[in-house]
Amino acid sequence: MALEIGIKDSIEFKVENSDLASNLNISKDDSFPDVFATARLVALMECSAAKILIPLLKEGELSVGVGVNITHLAATLEGDTAISTATFDGMEGKLFKFSIEVVDSGGKIGVGTHTRAIVSTDRLMSGAKKRVAK
């Protein structure tokens, strides 16, 4: 099955407390606001692109993120719903290219581009284990 350029898919996501930047503090010196974290925005964007690739996956395969270039345009409060829409833009070698836009009840909150690859789950996990088994 081949993807047609321009195919779109969306994911609606209700922003919960655990999705707020204030919960991503790593050191005691961090102080982030009580708004939708950029890291969670990126995850939502990746998931909307990955959703488009599901019909292409064979047994033992999954899609993985390879590149992300996004701009987080506006803050989203807990309880609001963010909707990420990915559009398939074509291939770059073996990579699937997407443009992505995310909106909440106030309008556009994020835009960007994203590339994904389809890989063997076993090969991915084997490679990850080999990297640390020294």
Residue 1 in any domain: the answer is: no
pLDDT of residue 134: 64
Residue 27 in any domain: the answer is: yes
In the chain, the number of structural domains is 1
Which of 86, 90, 99, 94 shows the shortest CA–CA distance to 117? Answer: 94
Residue 63 in any domain: the answer is: yes
Which CATH number covers residue 81?
A: 3.10.129.10
Token pair listed for 52: 């488009």
Rounded Cα–Cα distance for residues 57 and 129 (Å): 23
Q: What percent of the chain has pLDDT over 90?
A: 84
Residue 2 in any domain: the answer is: no
Residue 77 in any domain: the answer is: yes
Alpha-carbon distances, residue 133 vs 121, 128, 129 (angstroms): 18, 9, 6
Which domain, by its residues, includes 23?
8-132
pLDDT band of residue 87 (cuts 50, 70, 90) is: very high
Residue 3 in any domain: the answer is: no
The predicted model scores a pTM of: 0.92
Residue 103 in any domain: the answer is: yes
Active site residues: 38, 46, 72
Q: Which pLDDT tens digit goes with each residue over 61-84?
A: 999 999 999 999 999 999 999 999
